[in-house]
Amino acid sequence: MAATIKVTNPATGELIQEVKADTEEEIHLALRRGHESFRKWSKTNAHERSRLLKLWSKKIQEHKDDLAKIMTMESGKPLHESLGEVDYATSYIDWYAEEAKRLYGRTIPANTESKRIIVSRQPVGLVAAITPWNFPAAMMTRKAAPALAAGCTFVVKPAEDTPLTTMKLIELAHEAGIPADVIQCVNGYGSEVGKIFTESKYVRKITFTGSTPVGKLLIRDSASTVKHVSMELGGHAPVIVAHDADIDLAVEQTIASKFRNAGQTCICANRVLVHESIVEEFAEKLTKEVKKLKVGNGLEKGTQIGPVINEKGFNKIVSQVNDAISKGAEVLCGNKYNANREKGYFFVYPTVLKNVNENMKIMQEETFGPILPITTFQELEEAVNIANSTPYGLAAYFFTNDYRTGIYLHEHLDFGIIGWNDGSPSAAHAPFGGMKESGIGREGGVEGIEPYLETKYLSIGGIYK
Ligand SMILES: NC(=O)C1=CN([C@@H]2O[C@H](COP(=O)(O)OP(=O)(O)OC[C@H]3O[C@@H](n4cnc5c(N)ncnc54)[C@H](O)[C@@H]3O)[C@@H](O)[C@H]2O)C=CC1
Ligand SMILES: O=C(O)[C@H](O)CS(=O)(=O)O
């Protein structure tokens, strides 16, 4: 196991903090403690669990500015986005603090007078979570909140790039009164910790947000002990702009989706399919607005696009852009970089590509950067076929004011999240998640607590004997 994890600022390359990586023994101990504390926590009444979750949310809000600064420094996202993410993170805790009190069972009419049937819910057990760097607060609370609300205990391994935000959140949970062994953080490198989690007899559920390849490994390795799995994986969101779309709205909402977190979200617009009759107007208006986006250090006032997270992400983005250009794509703006491998910072300027085709990597592989390729279509069926052609099925967006077009697209797009004239669909009260290779399960909404619950039924006999 690695001894320490160097946490650096992706905007400057500067070392923020060295974090000790937990040893295998320390991780096993955390899992054992999480398992042993499960019995008591799962028997804590739902209203008490709810009360403690609300205290945790309050504590986080009291430390909002500090948390946002930590998040911007380690992830690179602009400060206003980090402040927004703190609110997004607590919105999941607030939502599940209430859902804890609504875990209803039911009775079933028996087929004889001497029997009664009662259905009830119980928490699955110790949950092990692995979270990504792009939303180090919200991706953790989106898992921890329903887990704790359901009565599960929780151990999380944050991404090596951004452990500090998660560590602070867990510290605040303990300050709020959630017992130390009920929610824990361990640090380490994914492949090493992942194996410990999936092989542990104490862990009853794995929940993961990250790349599809890693998700597949975790699903495979969870089979040995038949663990529950929840997977929020990669995406490749299409944006369909129909001939009758409000172009100004489509431009505004496509930018909102594409450039949030420098394009490093799993539901970012990854390709735009524009009806051929309006592509010139759309591309011109879009490019004009994209050129206005301010690139810089997320701590600087006014920054809208920060650096990408690391060299691996940078190289993937540059490779996709160069591939597209080599296959005929036209650059309408951007395709500029401010990178220094020695210092470890990698800025990618927002880029719009036109005349893109299906043979380009960028139309098939998740970009995770501020690059927007535009292609065209003639018929809606063609747009749907292109949209559904990747292995992903997380988010899709379309712009039209015609209800027949809207209903057709909603019913024919194979995606778990669809924005109709809306580029920002995420909300704690809605079930976030994907189809196909974008994942298993939902997070948020009434659906989001189900993955943390088992269902059992009691059949009582001999009542009138
Ligand atoms: N769905 C989403 O929101 C996310 C999608 N991604 C996609 O993944 C691509 C690569 O980004 P990465 O940071 O490398 O994602 P990643 O999936 O490798 O990392 C995410 C988390 O998984 C852990 N991890 C890595 N390898 C693991 C393994 N073998 N077993 C268990 N855990 C492991 C990491 O430590 C981190 O905590 C991105 O460009 C993007 O396409 C990445 C992060 C979030
Ligand atoms: O994983 C992600 O990229 C996030 O789930 C996107 S969102 O929930 O912040 O929209």
Q: Which residues contact 453 (CB under 8 A, 6 or more apart)?
A: 103, 121, 122, 123, 124, 150
pLDDT tens by residue, 322-332: 999 999 999 99
pLDDT of residue 2: 61
Residue nearest to atom 11 of ligand 1 (CA): 211
pLDDT tens by residue, 129-142: 999 999 999 999 99
pLDDT tens by residue, 393-410: 999 999 999 999 999 999
Asked whether the predicted pLDDT for residue 243 surpasses 80, the reply is yes
Asked whether the predicted pLDDT for residue 200 surpasses 90, the reply is yes
Q: Which residues contact 42 (CB under 8 A, 6 or more apart)?
A: 122, 123, 151, 152, 153
**DSSP type of residue 455:** E
Q: Which residues contact 433 (CB under 8 A, 6 or more apart)?
A: 232, 394, 416, 417, 439, 440, 441, 442, 443
Atom of ligand 2 nearest to the CA of 425: 10
pLDDT of residue 32: 98
Distance CA 346, CA 339 (A): 4
Tokens encoding 15: 């070392």
| Residues 321 and 412 sit within 8 Å (Cβ to Cβ) | no
Asked whether the predicted pLDDT for residue 275 surpasses 70, the reply is yes
Asked whether the predicted pLDDT for residue 465 surpasses 90, the reply is no
Asked whether the predicted pLDDT for residue 1 surpasses 70, the reply is no
Residue nearest to atom 28 of ligand 1 (CA): 191
Asked whether the predicted pLDDT for residue 110 surpasses 90, the reply is yes
Which residues have CB under 6 Å of ligand 2? 134-135, 138-139, 209, 265-267, 426, 432
Q: Which domains does the chain have, with CATH numbers?
A: 4-233+438-459 (3.40.605.10), 237-427 (3.40.309.10)
Asked whether the predicted pLDDT for residue 336 surpasses 90, the reply is yes
Cross-sheet strand order for the sheet of 453-460: 106-108, 116-123, 453-460
Residue nearest to atom 43 of ligand 1 (CA): 210
Q: Which amino acid is at 401?
A: N
Q: ipTM of this predicted complex?
A: 0.95
Q: Residue 192 C-alpha to ligand 2 middle, in angstroms?
A: 25
Q: Which of 424, 432, 442 to mutate to test the pocket of ligand 2 (most atoms within 8 A of CB)?
A: 432
Q: What residues are annotated to the active site? A: 232, 266
CA distances from 460 to 104, 246, 311, 455 (A): 19, 61, 61, 17
233 lines ligand 1 (CB under 6 A): yes
Burial category of 178 from C-beta neighbours within 10 Å (exposed 0-12, middle 13-18, buried 19 and up): buried
Distance CA 333, CA 288 (A): 9
Q: How much is the average pLDDT of 90-114?
A: 98
366 lines ligand 1 (CB under 6 A): yes
Q: How much is the average pLDDT of 91-116?
A: 98
Q: Residue 262 C-alpha to ligand 2 middle, in angstroms?
A: 13
